[in-house]
Structure 1
Amino acid sequence: MRIYISGPLQGSQNLPEARRFYEMLAASVRAAGCEAYVPHLATDPIESAHMSSERVFDTDLAALDSADAVIAHIGLPSTGVGAELAIAAASGRRILGLKRPGEPSSRFAEGLLLEADSTVITFRSAAELDDVVRRWLNQPRSWFGCPAALRFKQRAIA
Structure 2
Amino acid sequence: MTNAASFIRRHIGQSALILLLITAGYSGWVPALHAGSMLELTDLLAHPEQYDKQTVSVVGEVSNLQLATTRDGQNAYGFLLKSGKGTVKVIGLGKTRVRDGEQVVVEGIFSRLRQGGRTAVLNEIKAELVRPLAQLTPDFVG
Give TM-score, length-normalised by structure 1. Answer: 0.23
RCO comparison, higher one (Cα < 8 Å, 6+): 1
Higher gyration radius (CA): 2
More strand by share: 2
Give TM-score, length-normalised by structure 2. Answer: 0.25
